[in-house]
């Protein structure tokens, strides 16, 4: 099945510590192909890195194998994480195991598809603007985007570093939380990770997995109108049913308003593309990755290498990102986007004075058919309207299966306050328990 749906770019193993005990002992894990694995090629779904073999492993890989998990392969993804369907990969699209004519979501589509197809127990993805939660929603599995700074990004090949976190994908909330327990925590190799001991509630003694107890009695759930407006009716109905199930278990819901999120997707794309244009400048054919056989001067060789190595979506974003940062346009676009980012952060902070979690559809649409959104980048970008706010505000968010509509999976998203992973795990576990 995993081969039919093209979930893996490379199927090679890194054995876990056989003596380890705990929930991940003997578990198999599929790893998104932008997370470095020593001795195993790491392509980012790009021709540019098709033969690139990292000399070291990401911190999250060491933590997983130390906990007994065995890496079974590197999963397909949108090129450098840029996409919502896993169709921009240089290695062909991944198919959704639930319906193979449809996309698995993206950009961590191979990881979610591998878990949904039973090719791995759990998986790692990365989430810059929704790339863990979107494929989790489309494939009917669970995905967690941790609070910025909870999980080390050392060894994650950067797309937009101020927004992204590595996050787990699994069949159940408890399993996803068990992976988070293993990968969370500060790392001397990544200065943006936080020492959790000083942050109240950030590192629950019993771990995140223990919070998957379904106990939402007394919890307050904020339901923002802005994240339901314009969503597919079938998605809205399914998500509302799941929220009603939480109410039946003693949670209280209250309508809230987050006016800033109407601008989140625009701000996200300006910031993500600006950071991408800078991060991807390192792929010049000199130090690693593809190099053209141009015999021209340095400038020509650099241009040709990038012309050959990058796909269309990556080029579009480098161009737009460079433009948004250029003199004269910086204030008009980049600066405005940063202001919008601050506004989104404030809006959520204010909301969390009154509610414990914020609930919405993860994706406003059902899984696209293969090819459907490829010619229409704007449509693809707009599908990220509900997931990007959590990245802009650095907040933790989970996608949990809410049910099905027309036989296709629908995800419910729960966003929590900073380092409130325990709360979103608890709330999500109540959704899957019904």
Active-site annotation, residues: 32, 107, 131
* Residue in 128, 147, 260, 301 binding ligand GLN, rule: CB under 6 A: 128
- Which is nearer to ligand GLN, 135 or 401 (by Cβ)? 135
Neighbours of 295 (CB within 10 A): 7
CA distance 82 to 318: 11
CB 375 within 8 A of CB 361: no
411 binds ligand GLN per the rule CB under 6 A: no
What is the distance, to the nearest Å, from the Cα of residue 131 to the centroid of all Cα atoms in its chain?
Answer: 3
Is 433 strand, coil or helix? coil
Neighbours of 404 (CB within 10 A): 14
Local structure of residue 199 (DSSP, 8 states) = S
- Which is nearer to ligand GLN, 83 or 367 (by Cβ)? 83
H or E element that contains 359: strand 357-361
Least separation in angstroms between CB 269 and ligand GLN? 7
H or E element that contains 343: helix 336-351
* Residue in 42, 70, 84, 172 binding ligand GLN, rule: CB under 6 A: 84
H or E element that contains 220: strand 220-224
CA distance 250 to 52: 52
- Which is nearer to ligand GLN, 313 or 422 (by Cβ)? 313
Find the part of the chain contacting ligand GLN (CB under 6 A) among 12-20, 64-72, 121-129, 350-358: 121-129
Find the part of the chain contacting ligand GLN (CB under 6 A) among 18-26, 120-128, 256-264, 285-293: 120-128
107 binds ligand GLN per the rule CB under 6 A: yes
Report angle CA 422, 425, 431 to the nearest 5 degrees.
145
Least separation in angstroms between CB 84 and ligand GLN? 4
CA distance 108 to 123: 10
User: Which positions from 156 through 175 interact with ligand GLN, judged by CB under 6 A?
Assistant: 159
399 binds ligand GLN per the rule CB under 6 A: no
C-beta nearest to ligand GLN: residue: 131
Find the part of the chain contacting ligand GLN (CB under 6 A) among 123-131, 211-219, 233-241, 420-428: 123-131
Find the part of the chain contacting ligand GLN (CB under 6 A) among 125-133, 295-303, 369-377, 408-416: 125-133
Task: Name the phi and psi angles at 73, rounded to 5.
Answer: 165, 170
User: Which positions from 260 through 289 interact with ligand GLN, judged by CB under 6 A?
Assistant: 272
User: Which positions from 63 through 82 interact with ligand GLN, judged by CB under 6 A?
Assistant: 81-82
Tell which residue, 109, 103, 80, has the closest CA to residue 7.
Answer: 109
Report angle CA 370, 372, 377 to the nearest 5 degrees.
120
Peptide linkage before 107 cis (omega within 30 of 0): yes
127 binds ligand GLN per the rule CB under 6 A: yes
CA distance 398 to 413: 6
Say how many residues touch ligand GLN, by CB under 6 A: 14
143 binds ligand GLN per the rule CB under 6 A: no
Find the part of the chain contacting ligand GLN (CB under 6 A) among 129-137, 210-218, 348-356, 403-411: 129-137
Task: Name the phi and psi angles at 83, rounded to 5.
Answer: 160, 175
* Residue in 76, 96, 131, 165 binding ligand GLN, rule: CB under 6 A: 131
- Report the interface residues with ligand GLN, using CB under 6 A: 81-84, 107, 126-131, 159, 272, 384
């Amino acid at each position: 099945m995993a081969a039919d749906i093209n979930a893996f770019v490379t199927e090679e193993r890194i054995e876990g510590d056989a003596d380890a005990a705990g929930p991940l002992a003997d578990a198999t894990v599929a790893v998104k192909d932008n997370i470095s694995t020593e001795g195993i090629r790491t392509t980012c779904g790009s021709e540019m890195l098709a033969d690139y073999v990292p000399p070291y492993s990401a911190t999250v890989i060491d933590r997983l194998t130390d906990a007994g998990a065995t890496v079974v392969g590197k999963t397909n993804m949108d090129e450098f994480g840029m996409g919502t369907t896993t169709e921009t990969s240089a290695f062909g699209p991944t198919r959704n195991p639930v319906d193979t004519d449809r996309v698995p979501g993206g950009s961590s589509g191979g990881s979610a598809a591998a878990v949904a197809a039973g090719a791995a127990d759990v998986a790692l993805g990365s989430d810059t603007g929704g790339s863990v939660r979107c494929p989790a929603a489309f494939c009917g599995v669970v995905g967690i985007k941790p609070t910025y700074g909870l999980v080390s990004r050392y060894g994650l090949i950067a797309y937009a570093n101020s927004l992204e976190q590595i996050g787990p994908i699994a069949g159940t909330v408890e399993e996803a939380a068990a992976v988070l327990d293993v990968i969370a925590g500060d790392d001397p190799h990544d200065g943006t990770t936080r020492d959790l001991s000083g942050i109240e509630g950030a590192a629950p003694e019993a771990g995140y997995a223990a919070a998957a107890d379904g106990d939402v009695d007394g919890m307050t759930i904020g339901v923002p109108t802005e994240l339901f407006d314009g969503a597919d009716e079938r998605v809205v109905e399914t998500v509302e049913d799941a929220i009603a199930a939480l109410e039946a278990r003693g949670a209280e819901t209250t309508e809230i308003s987050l006016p800033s999120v109407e601008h989140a997707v625009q701000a996200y794309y300006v910031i993500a593309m600006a950071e991408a244009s800078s991060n991807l400048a390192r792929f010049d054919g000199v130090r690693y990755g593809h190099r053209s056989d141009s015999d021209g001067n340095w400038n020509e060789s650099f241009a040709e290498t990038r012309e050959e190595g990058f796909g269309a979506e990556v080029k579009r974003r480098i161009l737009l990102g460079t433009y948004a940062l250029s003199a004269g346009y910086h204030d008009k676009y980049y600066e405005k986007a940063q202001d919008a980012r601050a506004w989104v952060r404030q809006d959520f902070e204010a909301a969390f004075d009154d509610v414990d979690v914020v609930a919405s559809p993860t994706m406003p649409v059902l899984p696209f058919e293969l090819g459907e959104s490829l010619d229409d980048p704007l449509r693809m970008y707009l599908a990220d309207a509900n997931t990007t706010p959590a990245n802009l505000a650095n907040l933790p968010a989970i996608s949990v299966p809410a049910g099905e509509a027309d036989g296709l999976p629908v995800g419910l998203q729960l966003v929590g306050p900073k380092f409130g992973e325990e709360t979103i795990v608890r709330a999500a576990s109540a959704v899957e328990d019904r």
